[in-house]
Structure formats: structure tokens, C-alpha cells
Structure 1
Amino acid sequence: SLSSMGFAAGQAILPVVFVALFASFHWRSLWVLAAALVLITMPVMLLLLRQERTPQSMAQSTQSAGMDGQHWTRMQMTRHGLFWLMIPLVIGPPAWGTALFFQQVHLTEVKGWTLVSFVALMPLYTVTSVVSTFVSGWAIDRFGVTRVTPVQMLPFALSFAVLAFADTIAMAGVGLMIFGVGQGMQATATSVFWAEFYGTRYIGSIKAVGAALMVFGSAIGPGVTGLFIDLGVDFPQQMIPIAIYYAVAAIMATVGVLRYRKRLVAPATA
């Protein structure tokens, strides 16, 4: 929960800052500025990463096994049925979430809102996301990831349904706040899910697969929605099918969790 705060802060601050800069700078110049900021942070990251944050001796002694009491490799995971049931859950939020922000100019034009008023809602979305991140982290620690995973897609489905029918900027704010609830849950539950079901010994290679799926989703979301916009189906019209996608992803994840959670080995007690 804590480690995702930097991402949340960027989502709250940077859209407002860059929209404000549009009044004085050409959009190409802002892309150059964004690239420069990334390059500036790279030496800082390299300096910080020179210090080992999780000593290997500690990591070896605190490993947790997954299903059947074993540590699953990446190859074993990709051949397992639960992994395939979880793919829509992993891909959905980055795909359609990226599309939501990528198509915001088109969305505001169709809805008759100003772009500035829509971007001004981002801090509401981010605050909700931050609160949801900490609440979902607590819920996972308290009730387990198997209770949280089946419901983490539902806020996404509800948010797109609200945004599809929103006719005021206030309703758009409600939709974005509900979307923030889903983002907060996704930020914590997905990472914990991999470790819970597949163990921690090979968690780096396993999470790399999850990250690749997320990047793939982020790439296809804007492309798919843009294609349909070019075909005459505006983004608000696409939101109901997207909401249905999230609902189907929730059903698939629920089926997977209910089927395989009995294979989780209870931790030993002192």
C-alpha cells in the first residue's frame, strides 16, 4: 500500500500541472520536459538501488510457499489453470483505465464538459485511490487475499457504468472516485495474490509476467477504443461493454479462487 503512493501522487499532480502548462508551452515541448524528468530521476534511482533493501539471508528465511506447499516457477504458473482465469483481471484495469485517461479529450467533447473541469477531478480520484489502497491492504491482512480478489473488479465495472450515463461533471467525479476504489484494490491485491498462490521464492519472475500483461493491456486499451471511435462508436457508448468485461473478469477470478484456494497450505502456528 505504501509503495504505490508515488504513483498516486503523480496521477494527482501531473495531469493538472501539464494541462496548466498547455497555456504557455507547445505540447511537443511538454513531451520533451517529461522525457527530461525521467532521465533526471534515473541516476537517483541507480544510487538508491545500490543498497540492498531485502538482504538475501532474510529473504531466504522468510519465504512463503504457495499452493500445495510448493514454490511455483514461472513455467509452472503459466501452465496452471488459475493463471489463465486471472488474465482478464490483470489486463482489464491497465487496458481500460489507460483508455479512460487517453480518451479524456474525446470524452469531454462528447459529454459537453470542459477538459479543465474534468482534469480538476483527478485529485478526487487520487485521494480515493490512496484511501482504498490502505483499506484494501488492511482487508487483505485481516481477511486474506482470497476474500478481496473476487470483488476487486466490481468498482471498475460500476465506475464505467456511472461514467457512461453521467450527464454532469459532478457525476463524472462520482464515477472517477469509484474508479479510484478499484485502482486502490488492484494496487495491493494483485501483488499479494501472486505470492499467496504461487509462493515467494520465484516471485520476481512471476510478477514479471504480471507486469508484462499490464503493459500489454495499457498498449491495447487506447488502440481498441480509438479504433471504435473511428468507426463511429464514441467512448461513452463503449463504456457499458467495458463494464461487462470487468464483471466477466470478476466471475472468472471468483471461479479460480474458489476452485484453488483449498490447495493453499495454512501457515504453521507456534
Structure 2
Amino acid sequence: MLASDLRPEMRSEMRWLSSGFLLTLCSGFGQTYFIALFAGYLKTDLAISDGQFGSLYTIGTLASAALLMWAGKFADQLSIRWLGVGVMAGLALTSLAMASVASVWILVFVLFGLRFFGQGMLTHVAMTAMGRWFNRKRGRAVSIAALGFPAGEAVLPMIAVASIGLIGWRSTWVAAAIVLFALPIPILIWLLKHERRPTAGLAVAETANQGIARREWTRSEVLKSPLFYALMPGVLTPSFIVTGIFFNQVTIVALKGWELSWFAASFPFSAGVSVLSALTAGWMVDRFGARHLLPTFLVPLGLATLILTYAASPYVLPVFMALVGLSLGSASTIQGALWAELYGTEHLGAIRALVMAGVVFASALSPGLIGVLMDAGVPLETLLLAMAAYCFIAALWMGALMPRLHRLAMSS
């Protein structure tokens, strides 16, 4: 069913789908899993502690979240082609700055740039484009574009580690800048030489409202909607928990008495399962609607965190990573389609910018908060158990919101 649905139409749409994949893939240069590879070298060269680096990372990420709330509206006002090129160029220039960072103050601005252009804007531009360009196949379009996330997670760390061993950590950032200028930017210009028009018709989940003029929410209207805020405790959970665990992976494996290599070697399990999860969720979104799947994506993350809480052997790490991938893959697809389904597409960039700012803020808050609590003597197992319990509670909360979400989608 899935394959027969995808092949005929999606083949003709590969130019635009590939642009979304390219944008999310390149966002990896600003993601925690990539930047954390250079943490040891930065702390040594700049003579800063673990806590100081974590604080600088939090400050840079929070600043990027604040700017994203303002800059996200450009996805509604500018061509995706040239906005994407501009953001990639900004990421490349920031990579060059990282290669020459020589002080703590410069590092703050560099971390801000990597998080803003990489994690923030590239992800935002890609998901906004998929949500606006596709109606009937929105779920699958978002899921295909989101494959860039696990692809980057699977490939970029290995390339970075090999490059550091060959040419050093600073030259690796120079190489990253050169690659961004030489490959993704020209490819994106070619892929989007013709601006995409939205597909005709409505998604299956929206056909019950066919024939009624669809309401297009503005950002100010969304900010006045209590339901938008009610969704945040669940929507922001994956960013908070996964970033917190990955950022503190060195501490976690040390407390568990494991080798760090076990943790690193388990990432492909997360990436592989995330691909399957994203594609499956895309088909389900098109068939049932993103809002109906909201209670599901936090359950695997809760199970993963629960397993990590009580795990005594590193052999469970592949299972942990697979469950994380199951959650992240479905979450990226469901959330990528949700906002267009609820609030329309005319102001989608401005609305998604609010959500992305929240996601970035959550990813900034967790490393510092978890580090402070661990420094204060809170046991690791207690923190992980609290995260697991929160996932299950948030999933139930998402389920409780279902009737109101359905009424909102049908009235839009």
C-alpha cells in the first residue's frame, strides 16, 4: 500500500522532496550530536570547564531560539530557494569562524550561529516548505524530507571523527565550510530553479471540511489560542530529553561504567529505525491526520528512557537507540504536518517559527538543567526515571486534547 501510493506521484516530485532532504541533512552541522564531537578540543584550547562549556552552549542556543521567533517569518515572505541558500551560506561562514575561534566570547557567537543557521533555520525552512508545497501527500513529503536528520546522524559524526584524525579539528571545520559552499548550495539552487506550487486537493484528514472556506490563522491569532500552549508540553519533550541525554553521554556512560565507544556505535540503530518510523508515520498522517497520532510518538521515548534507567549492561544501548529513533522519526513527521493541518499554510512559516523556537529553547535548557541537578547530587537514575514518567504522562495529555484538536482542524 505504502509503496504503491508513493511511487507514481513522488517520483515526479523528487526535485522538491530532495531539496527538503538536503536542507535537513545539512542541519546536522548545527546539531548537538555533531558539535559535541569538538567539545573536548574546545575545552582544552580555551581552558574552560565542562560547566562553562555547557553554559556557553546554552546561552548560544537560547539566543538562536530568540532570533528564530523573528526570522522564521521569512519562510512566508521569501523564496525557499534563496532563503535556503542564504541560511546555508550563513552556516558555512560560521563553520569558518569555528575553525579560528580563540576566545570564550567568540565561541558564544559561533555556537549561536551554528545553532541558529543549522538546527534552527535549515530545519524550519525545510519543514515549512514541505507543509506548504504538499496537501494530499503532506505526511509523506514531510517524512521523506525528514530522512535528512537520521542520514546526517549516521554519516556526519563518522566523517568528522575521521577528518579530525587526519587534518585536526580546526581544519575539519574549514573542510565543512568548503563542502557547504561547493556542494549543497549549488545543488539547492539547481533543485529549486522552479518554485513549487501546492498540490491540488486536500489531505485525507481534511476532506471532511471540503467545500468550506479554510481559515488561515495568523501568528498573533495562534498566540491567543490556549490550545497551542496546551500542545507544547508534549511537542517539546523529545528535544528536551534526547538533547539532555546525548549532551551528557560521557557522564552517563562513566556513571554506568561503560565505554563511550558503545554509545557511539549504537547511533546507527537510532538512524535506521528513524527512517522506517518517519516513512510509516508519513503514510499514517496522510491516511488518519497528524493530530490523531500525537499520543503515540512519546511512548517509545518513555520506554527508551526507562530501559536506560535500569540498564546494567551496555548491550541494551542498541535497544535504547532503536526506541529513540522510533520516537524521533515519527515525531518529526507528525509535527512537520500538524501545524498546517491545524492552522493552514498561508502563515505557516511564522507559526512554525514559534514552535521551532520552543524546540531550540528546550534543547538549550536540558543540558544545563540536567548538569546542575547532577552536580547537586540528584542520582542519574532518578533523573532518567522522571523523564520516562513525564513521557507517559505527556502522551496521556496529548490523548486528552484529541477532541479539541479535531474541532479546531474541522473549523479551520
Q: Is TM (by shorter chain) over 0.5?
A: yes
Greater CA drift, 21-30 or 126-135: 21-30
Gaps (5+ residues) in structure 2? 1-142
What's the TM-score once normalised by structure 2's chain length? Answer: 0.58
Question: Is 1:13 equivalent to 2:155 in the alignment?
Answer: yes
Q: Whose RCO is larger (CA < 8 A, sep 6+)?
A: 1
User: 1:52-84, CA deviations, whole angstroms, 9 ceiling, x for partnerless residues?
Assistant: 4324xx57x668889994111111111112101
Question: Is 1:53 equivalent to 2:231 in the alignment?
Answer: no
- Cα pair distance change 1:34/1:195, threshold 3 Å: same
Give the Å deviation of 1:51.
Answer: 2.6
* Structure 1 partner of 2:307: 162
Show the 5 A alignment for 1:90-105.
90-105=235-250
The correspondence for 2:291, drawn from 146, 151, 162, is 146
Contact 2:262 2:314 in 1 (8 A): yes
Q: How many Å separate the matches in 2 of 1:107 and 1:227?
A: 14
Equivalent position amino acid for 1:12 in 2: A
Question: Is 1:111 equivalent to 2:256 in the alignment?
Answer: yes
- Cα pair distance change 1:141/1:46, threshold 3 Å: closer
The correspondence for 2:402, drawn from 257, 260, 268, is 257
Give the Å deviation of 1:218.
Answer: 1.3
Give the Å deviation of 1:138.
Answer: 1.1
- Cα pair distance change 1:230/1:129, threshold 3 Å: same
What's the TM-score once normalised by structure 1's chain length? Answer: 0.85
* Structure 1 partner of 2:9: none
Greater CA drift, 43-52 or 88-97: 43-52
Give the Å deviation of 1:37.
Answer: 4.9
Equivalent position amino acid for 2:341 in 1: E
Give the Å deviation of 1:89.
Answer: 1.9
Give the Å deviation of 1:103.
Answer: 1.0
Greater CA drift, 44-53 or 184-193: 44-53
Q: How many Å separate the matches in 1 of 2:259 and 2:179?
A: 28
* Structure 2 partner of 1:74: 219
- Cα pair distance change 1:21/1:104, threshold 3 Å: farther
Q: How many Å separate the matches in 2 of 1:236 and 1:27?
A: 34
Q: How many Å separate the matches in 2 of 1:232 and 1:123?
A: 32
**Does the residue aligned with 1:196 lie in a helix, a strand or coil?**
helix
Equivalent position amino acid for 2:254 in 1: E
Give the Å deviation of 1:48.
Answer: 4.6
Contact 2:343 2:409 in 1 (8 A): no
Equivalent position amino acid for 1:78 in 2: L
Give the Å deviation of 1:39.
Answer: 5.7
Contact 1:91 1:214 in 2 (8 A): yes
The correspondence for 1:3, drawn from 124, 135, 145, is 145
The total of aligned residue pairs comes to 264
Q: How many Å separate the matches in 2 of 1:155 and 1:49?
A: 35
Q: How many Å separate the matches in 2 of 1:63 and 1:93?
A: 29
Equivalent position amino acid for 1:88 in 2: P
Identity of aligned residues (%): 31
Give the Å deviation of 1:85.
Answer: 1.0
Q: How many Å separate the matches in 1 of 2:291 and 2:285?
A: 8
Give the Å deviation of 1:232.
Answer: 2.4
Following TM superposition, the consecutive aligned residue runs of length 4 or more in structure 1 with deviations greater than 6 angstroms are: 63-68
* Structure 2 partner of 1:217: 362
The correspondence for 2:341, drawn from 183, 196, 215, is 196
Equivalent position amino acid for 2:398 in 1: A
Show the 5 A alignment for 1:77-88.
77-88=222-233
Give the Å deviation of 1:237.
Answer: 3.3
- Cα pair distance change 1:244/1:38, threshold 3 Å: farther
- Cα pair distance change 1:25/1:97, threshold 3 Å: farther
Contact 1:159 1:176 in 2 (8 A): yes
